[in-house]
Amino acid sequence: MEIKVNKEIRNYTESIFFGLSMRQFFFSVLACAFAVLVYFLLQPYFGLETLSWLCILAAAPFAALGFVTYNGMVAEQIAWAYIKTKFLIPSRFPFESENLYFLCCRDGIEKAQKGALQ
């Protein structure tokens, strides 16, 4: 008997149904339900081949939500990070240089310039 142990314990996901995690199973069922809904709603308007492609296209985003991970983040965390970086946090950071030496010596420089003009 062989027991597989992950090298990193945080990468462990428990299989609930058919080797899928609960999250993956939930989004797979949601994708199937949405595909069936699209099939029955659009059946009178399209042929079988077109309808099958529409069902696949309608179910794909829901299926992807359950399986997509990027840098350890799930789909909702990726979307939230994108919204924060593009819309909520300003992308331009104005930089204004400040010459501290000039600020310290401003009075002496201005007096010297006035004296040179006279």
In order along its 118 residues, the chain shows pLDDT tens digits of 776 766 666 666 666 777 788 888 888 899 999 999 999 999 999 899 999 999 999 999 988 888 888 888 888 899 999 999 888 887 777 777 888 877 778 877 777 777 766 6
Question: Domain count of the chain?
Answer: 1
Q: Read off the tokens for 72.
A: 């350890």
CA distance 79 to 91: 17
Q: Does residue 25 sit within a domain?
A: yes
Do the Cβ atoms of 16 and 25 come closer than 8 Å?
Answer: yes
Q: Does residue 84 sit within a domain?
A: no
Residue 1, classed as helix, strand or coil, is coil
The boundaries of the domain holding residue 3 are 1-76
Summarised one tens digit per residue, pLDDT across range 85-118 is 888 887 777 777 888 877 778 877 777 777 766 6
Q: Does residue 19 sit within a domain?
A: yes
Q: Does residue 60 sit within a domain?
A: yes
Q: Does residue 34 sit within a domain?
A: yes
Q: What is the pTM of this model?
A: 0.59
Q: Does residue 118 sit within a domain?
A: no
Q: Does residue 96 sit within a domain?
A: no
**Strand ranges, E, within the chain:** 69-70, 73-74
Q: Does residue 13 sit within a domain?
A: yes
